[in-house]
């Protein structure tokens, strides 16, 4: 460590930014398996990423617990204590803290330390990373695990700063907030709003849901796993993970191969009913029929089934009308622990923002276009995230020739395999743009292992650096767009295509080709000696 004036310079092999699922595993790989001098930093006050920040009541995984964890260490897997189908936030945070301690990583993670900018010196082949803590890192490799659902999207209604109650975003939840008996407003009803509304309604005084677009949601079907199920998760480890790696959405179940209209209407109803009773948003969309996400008429069958369920559950006709989704069921599928039932409670009401938009916020609460002041003690923004590239654009990252990442991504974020982008040599990303749309730990493991192998390759050869070829990046972006266009997802405005952020360009942000294909392409790249990448000699010779 060298000090210049008030700045401390730390020279490293690798800097990992982010200490969530991705950064933690990356650090373990680099330090404990490759023996490199690697450090991680995170602006959070603890490790865990998503599960550190999202401490709101009701926070729950919507991937099943037996696949929402690491698989790289069988012994670690055997010790995971989770007992329910889906896993609550405190348990996931506890698990990730346990992983950090198990692999002696804690002393190598600098918390409350934000990367503010990063730049590449192509002569020295070194990344210089500045932080808000006066520590500057100089490293050969920079791995960003900044999170794809991490940069919070906070709405900007006039007068918001005047609000005298507590104003919170679910993605930066304050641990001291007690909602008991309070008048609470929740803006947003995506996965998060749905969870927080359902969990808090029984304890608050009055809850008002400010809803813009009604969503399709099915029950989670969460329950305590029986001993035989828990045993089979452990004993069938190889078969289970083999199935995950060879599936599309990596959710731990066999995706359906049955077309919606290949069965009778009665059979269709029976399959949907069984899926509703079993629970799980991804199961409902991908476990029932194979074409719900691709065929509009099939999609409507699924959507109308859910609409009929909502009609059965919600008693008040006016509330029922407001909660009723229309159009495609083609956002990230949701599941809930009694969301629609919550609106039968006397202390819960709904404001339809399409009919009466929010005009402004006062010191007392929210005012809507009909002139009503909704008085609140707490205003919860469950308004989602500037997904995928949001955190990358909040720092100044500069690659070769001083080019900024934001400029490189002016037409939308691009990458090859979600791990590398042209002009940014030896910079890798975990869950970068156009990575797979799956249950994420298996994708994280695939990408971390790929990045570790690339770093090992560069460190042990005279490659100098690896930089993805521009035509390869363009082709990958095109591939992602072409696959997405075969589905219905681009036609529903959501964060999956950047449509949730005012002014954000709508682009493809995921590879929808599935886990199996993604792993096959990723491993072929390594096996063939990185044909999609340029070495430093290639790049400097061209310059
Ligand atoms: P994150 O966990 O987001 O960690 C990124 C870290 O980077 C953060 O701690 C952040 O503070 C840090 N960081 C960012 N920028 C900087 C900077 N400039 N300087 C320093 N640090 C920085 N996925 C699923 O597959 N299944 C689920 O059931 C599921 N449920 C979810 C529920 C919620 C409420 C949310 C928000 C997400 C959920 N996800 C789920 C997605 C989840 O984000 C991923 O599964 C996974 O946790 C991502 O891990 P990560 O390490 O890539 O990113
Ligand atoms: P989402 O799915 O982006 O949902 C955000 C919600 O907030 C959604 O209902 C939005 O309405 C609403 N929203 C956002 N901005 C506004 C404004 N300005 N006014 C009113 N309503 C607004 O985020 P989540 O956190 O629920 O889920 C993200 C992922 O995290 C999820 O898939 C899980 O993987 C975890 P809209 O629908 O845009 O009309």
Q: Can you list the domains of the chain with their CATH numbers? A: 9-151+387-468 (3.50.50.60)
**Does ligand 2 come within 6 angstroms of the Cβ of 487?**
no
What's the confidence (pLDDT) of residue 493?
87
Q: How far is the CA of 149 from the centre of ligand 1 (A)?
A: 6
202, two tokens: 């029984």
What's the confidence (pLDDT) of residue 540?
83
Widest pairwise Cα distance in the chain: 76
d(CA 527, CA 533): 13
Sign of the torsion angle spanned by Cα atoms 127, 39, 429, 112: negative
d(CA 385, CA 54): 12
Note whether 109 and 28 are within 8 A (CB). Answer: no
Burial class (CB in 10 A: 0-12, 13-18, 19+), 95: buried
Of the ligands numbered here, which is closest to the C-alpha atom of 40?
1
Q: Give strand pairing partners of 143.
A: 16, 428
Of all protein residues, the one whose alpha carbon is nearest to atom 6 of ligand 1 is: 18
Of all protein residues, the one whose alpha carbon is nearest to atom 10 of ligand 2 is: 188
Q: How far is the CA of 509 from the centre of ligand 1 (A)?
A: 16
Distance of CA 115 to the CA centre of its chain: 20
Atom of ligand 1 nearest to the CA of 431: 52
Q: How far is the CA of 338 from the centre of ligand 1 (A)?
A: 25
Of the ligands numbered here, which is closest to the C-alpha atom of 192?
2
d(CA 104, CA 28): 8
**Does ligand 1 come within 6 angstroms of the Cβ of 376?**
no
**Does ligand 2 come within 6 angstroms of the Cβ of 404?**
no
Atom of ligand 2 nearest to the CA of 170: 25
**Does ligand 2 come within 6 angstroms of the Cβ of 382?**
yes
Angle between helical axes of 440-460 and 21-28 (0-180°, round to 10): 30
Neighbours of 346 (CB within 10 A): 6
Output the tens digit of pLDDT for each of the chain's 543 residues. Answer: 565 666 799 999 999 999 999 999 999 999 999 999 999 999 999 999 999 999 999 999 999 999 999 999 999 999 999 999 999 999 999 999 999 999 999 999 999 999 999 999 999 999 999 999 999 999 999 999 999 999 999 999 999 999 999 999 999 999 999 999 999 999 999 999 999 999 999 999 999 999 999 999 999 999 999 999 999 999 999 999 999 999 999 999 999 999 999 999 999 999 999 999 999 999 999 999 999 999 999 999 999 999 999 999 999 999 999 999 999 999 999 999 999 999 999 999 999 999 999 999 999 999 999 999 999 999 999 999 999 999 999 999 999 999 999 999 999 999 999 999 999 999 999 999 999 999 999 999 999 999 999 999 999 988 899 999 999 999 999 999 999 999 999 999 889 998 899 989 899 999 999 999 999 999 999 999 999 999 998 888 877
Pocket perturbation via mutation, ligand 2, pick of 68, 191, 199 by most ligand atoms within 8 A of CB: 191
**Does ligand 1 come within 6 angstroms of the Cβ of 219?**
no
Neighbours of 161 (CB within 10 A): 10
Q: How far is the CA of 384 from the centre of ligand 2 (A)?
A: 4
Residue written as tokens 């096996």? 527
3-state SS class at 210: strand
Of all protein residues, the one whose alpha carbon is nearest to atom 33 of ligand 2 is: 191
């Amino acid at each position: 460590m060298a000090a210049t004036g008030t700045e401390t310079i730390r020279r490293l092999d690798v800097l990992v930014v982010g200490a969530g699922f991705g950064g933690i595993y990356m650090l373990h790989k680099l330090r404990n398996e490759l023996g490199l001098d690697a450090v991680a930093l995170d602006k959070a006050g603890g490790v865990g990423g998503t599960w550190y920040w999202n401490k709101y009541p009701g926070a729950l995984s919507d991937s099943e617990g037996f696949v929402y964890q690491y698989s790289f260490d069988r012994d670690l897997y055997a010790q995971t204590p989770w007992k329910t189908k889906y896993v609550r936030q405190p348990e996931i945070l506890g698990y990730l803290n346990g992983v950090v301690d198990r692999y002696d990583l804690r002393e190598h993670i600098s918390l409350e330390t934000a990367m503010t900018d990063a730049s590449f010196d192509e002569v020295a082949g070194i990344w210089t990373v500045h932080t808000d803590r006066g520590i500057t890192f100089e490293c050969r490799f920079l791995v960003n695990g900044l999170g794809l659902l991490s940069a919070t999207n906070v709405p900007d209604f006039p007068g918001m700063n005047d609000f005298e109650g507590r104003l919170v975003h679910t993605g930066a939840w304050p641990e001291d907030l007690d909602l008991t008996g309070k008048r609470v407003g929740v803006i947003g009803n995506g996965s998060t709003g749905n969870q927080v509304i359902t969990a808090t309604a029984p304890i608050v005084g009055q809850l008002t849901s400010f809803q813009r677009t009604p969503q399709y949601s099915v029950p989670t079907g969460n329950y305590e796993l029986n001993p035989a199920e828990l045993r089979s998760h452990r004993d069938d480890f190889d078969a289970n993970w083999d199935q995950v790696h060879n599936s599309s959405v990596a959710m731990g179940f066999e995706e359906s191969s049955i077309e919606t209209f290949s069965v009778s209407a009665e059979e269709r109803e029976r399959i949907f009913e069984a899926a509703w009773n079993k629970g799980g948003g991804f199961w409902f969309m991908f476990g029932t029929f194979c074409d719900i996400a691709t065929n509009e008429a099939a999609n409507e069958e699924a959507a109308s089934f859910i609409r009929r369920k909502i009609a059965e559950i919600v008693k008040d006709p006016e509330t029922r009308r407001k909660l009723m989704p229309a159009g495609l069921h083609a956002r990230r599928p949701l599941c809930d622990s009694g969301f629609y039932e919550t609106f039968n409670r006397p202390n819960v009401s709904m404001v339809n923002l399409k009919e009466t938009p929010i005009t402004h916020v006062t010191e007392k609460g929210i005012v809507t276009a009909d002139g009503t002041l909704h008085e609140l003690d707490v205003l919860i923004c469950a308004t989602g995230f500037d997904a995928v590239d949001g955190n990358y654009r909040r720092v100044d990252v500069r690659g070769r020739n001083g080019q900024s990442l934001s400029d490189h991504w002016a037409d939308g974020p691009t990458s090859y395999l979600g791990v590398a982008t042209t002009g940014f040599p030896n910079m890798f990303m975990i869950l970068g743009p156009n990575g797979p749309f799956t249950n994420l730990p298996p994708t994280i493991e695939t990408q971390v292992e790929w990045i570790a192998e690339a770093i090992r390759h560069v460190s042990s050869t005279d490659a100098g650096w690896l930089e993805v070829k521009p035509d390869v990046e363009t082709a990958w972006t095109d591939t992602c767009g072409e696959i997405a266009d075969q589905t219905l997802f681009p036609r529903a405005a959501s964060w999956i295509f950047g449509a949730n952020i005012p002014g954000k360009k709508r682009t493809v942000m995921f590879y929808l080709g599935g886990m199996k294909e993604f792993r096959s392409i990723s491993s072929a790249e390594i096996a063939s000696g990185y044909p999609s990448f340029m070495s430093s000699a290639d790049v400097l010779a061209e310059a």
